[in-house]
Amino acid sequence: MRRFRFGAVVRQAESGKAWAAKARQLEESGFDVLLVPDHLVGPRFAPVASLAAAACATSRLRVGTLVFANDFRHPAVLAKEVATLDVLSEGRVEVGLGTGWMASDYAASGLGFEPPGVRVDRLREAVTVLKGLWSEGAFDFEGTHYRISKLDQQPKPVQRPHPRLLLGGGGPRMLRLAAREADVVNIGMRVRADGTGPDGGDGGAAAFLGKLRVAREAAGARYERLELGTSVMQVGVRQAEETWSAADTRSLDDTPQVLLGTHHDIVDKLRYWRDSHDISYFVLHHERDLKAFTPVVEELATT
């Protein structure tokens, strides 16, 4: 049986001391991973510096992203940053990686926002480059989007053959890529092609189970080695969506992304999704839900 793992997205703090205190609180509460998002707009720390600070403030807690936007960094730059962070954290880095999707990031920064197919193809190449640069020796690559010539980056990551890689999404192309290349597949809602937010017609248990089937079929023999996860958007009592967030939970009540009810209701629902559908990695999306979710983590973290 797959062991539960729990992560929490933390976006910012008023000081370095306050940020370190948040990281230690997660570690002491039984969470496995502190995660940060990667956006150019909105109230969020930048990933690499904040993850380094969180790693230095803790001893067990893993640190990672949900998720690095591939369009914001050349994969050779990201490979170097991640390897350095993995050394400094003594092998506690988890690399969440996506195409980049939020149109406002691109519009505000002047980055070109290309169609989803182009961004997914670029991400596929980036994954190859990252794994190649994290391996031993010099790496060469010639693709449509990236070219690497005899590059042997140092240091190499502590984790071998590379840090745990999380890919996720709601569309079939991203799910197939994740199932074939990642260590963790994070199941979410499909995003609109124009980058304005989740596709509201993509919610519900039937859609969620369909995504699991896509991932399972694409993974083939490596399915048993995959960790399947999702983000928890509502806990206990439904609350209004945050004004800065693109989350839309109106159609998700019968999925593991919305956990309403009592403590026992939530525990039972998580056990159902793990035992019946192999979802074992749950990431808390909002810090506001920590008080309600932490007792659940404390009960299930070792099971």
Cis peptide bond prior to 67, omega within 30° of 0: yes
Burial (CB count <10 Å: 0-12, 13-18, 19+), residue 64 = buried
Question: Which residues on adjacent β-strands are paired with residue 51?
Answer: none
Q: What is residue 36's predicted lDDT score, i.e. its pLDDT?
A: 98
User: Is the CATH number of domain 5-300 3.20.20.30?
Assistant: yes
Instruction: Give the residue ranges of the chain where pLDDT is below 70.
Output: 243-247
Q: What is residue 244's predicted lDDT score, i.e. its pLDDT?
A: 65
244-268 as b/e, with b when 16 or more CB fall inside 10 Å?
eebbbbebbeebbbbbeeeeeebbe
Identify whether the C-beta of residue 72 lies closer than 8 Å to the C-beta of residue 40: yes
Q: Any idea where the domains of the chain sit in the sequence? A: 5-300
Q: Sort residue 270 into left (φ over 0), alpha (ψ -120 to 50) or beta.
A: alpha
Q: 3-class DSSP state for residue 259? A: strand
Number of residues written out for the chain: 303
174-200 as b/e, with b when 16 or more CB fall inside 10 Å?
bbbbbbbbbbbbbbbbbbbeebebbbe
Q: What is residue 68's predicted lDDT score, i.e. its pLDDT?
A: 98
Distance CA 32, CA 152 (A): 32
Retrieve residue 31's tokens. 């969470």
Retrieve residue 140's tokens. 């060469």
Only one residue has tokens 């140092």, namely 154
Work out the widest C-alpha separation in the chain, in whole angstroms.
Answer: 56
Identify whether the C-beta of residue 191 lies closer than 8 Å to the C-beta of residue 101: yes
Identify whether the C-beta of residue 8 lies closer than 8 Å to the C-beta of residue 64: no
Q: What is residue 1's predicted lDDT score, i.e. its pLDDT?
A: 79
